[in-house]
Structure formats: C-alpha cells, structure tokens
C-alpha cells in the first residue's frame, strides 16, 4: 500500500491545518485565561496568548499541516507577515466585540474563527505555496 505524499495532497492540508491551529489556539486561550484570572486586562491577555500561540502554530503549520519543503528563511518571514495580519485581525475583532458588550469568551471565540479562515487562505496561497518544478508541470 502506497503512503500518500502529504505535500501533494492539498485537500488533506485543511484538517491538519485545523488540528495544528487548534493546538496553538488552546495554548493561546490557556495563557489568556490564566492571565485574566490573575487580573491582567483582557486585551493584553489575548495579545500575549496569541503571541505564544504564534510560535506553536508556525511549527505545526510548517511541519504537519503543509509539510513544507521550503526553508525556514523563506517561510518564516512569510508566516510572520500573515501572523501580523492575523494578530491585528484578532485584536480588532476582539475589541470591536467587547465594545459591542460581548463577553470575553464569546468575543475571543468569534475572533478566533475569523482569524482561522483568513490564516488558512493566506498560508495555503502565500506562506507555504511552493512553485511547481519543471518536472512537475
């Protein structure tokens, strides 16, 4: 039985993306919860949690979700650009929902959904996108 090459199986990237991102999100939320319970402002807590999740997510996306053969010197700057956009999108979504009087948990869950969709599209089309070689064309 032939084992499929994960790098060429793009349909399989979405579930792996969600699993790796889910683990990073859980780390984000755990840190956020601990900080909020310790009395840290919720906006600062989500910013710190998202930053910790960033590192965990990059590793999971590069190695597991997209099985990228691209070197880190190529993918990490791309990932940081996407993560920066995602970080801002998370913070803006969270703040807007808090202004609308949403509770902390609802605001963060909603912001996470918005960011997850944006991050997948950006990662697939830009961060881990590999140009086909001449032989593969």
What are 88-123's pLDDT values in tens digits?
Answer: 999 999 999 999 999 999 999 999 899 888 989 999
Q: Which domain holds residue 90?
A: 12-129
- Angle between helix 72-99 and helix 42-60 axes, rounded to 10 deg: 150
Tokens of 113: 């959904």
Answer whether 10's CB lies under 8 Å from 67's CB. no
Inside any domain, residue 3: no
Q: Position of tokens 């792996």?
A: 16
Report the chain's mean pLDDT, rounded to a whole number.
87
pTM: 0.67
Residue 25 lies in a domain: yes
Flag whether 51 is in a domain.
yes
Q: How far apart are the two ends of the chain, measured CA to CA in Å?
A: 26
Q: Report yes or no on 84 lying in a domain.
A: yes
pLDDT of residue 137: 42
In total, how many domains does the chain have? 1
The answer to whether position 29 is within a domain reads yes
Instruction: State which residues of the chain have pLDDT below 70.
Output: 1-11, 131-137
Give how far the C-alpha of residue 37 lies from the chain's centroid of Cα atoms, to the nearest Å: 24
Q: Is residue 110 a part of any domain in this protein?
A: yes
pLDDT of res. 5: 52
Q: What's the CA gap between 12 and 99, in Å, rounded?
A: 38
């Amino acid at each position: 039985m032939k084992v499929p090459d994960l790098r060429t199986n793009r349909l399989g990237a979405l579930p792996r993306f969600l699993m790796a991102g889910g683990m990073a999100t859980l780390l984000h939320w755990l840190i956020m919860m601990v900080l909020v319970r310790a009395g840290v402002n919720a906006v600062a807590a989500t910013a710190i949690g998202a930053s910790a999740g960033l590192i965990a997510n990059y590793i999971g996306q590069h190695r597991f979700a997209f099985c990228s053969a691209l070197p880190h010197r190529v993918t990490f700057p791309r990932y940081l650009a996407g993560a920066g956009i995602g970080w801002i999108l998370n913070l803006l979504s969270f703040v807007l929902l808090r202004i609308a009087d949403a509770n902390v948990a609802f605001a963060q869950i909603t912001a996470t959904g918005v960011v997850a969709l944006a991050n997948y599209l950006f990662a697939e089309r830009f961060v881990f996108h590999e140009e086909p070689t001449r032989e593969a064309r």
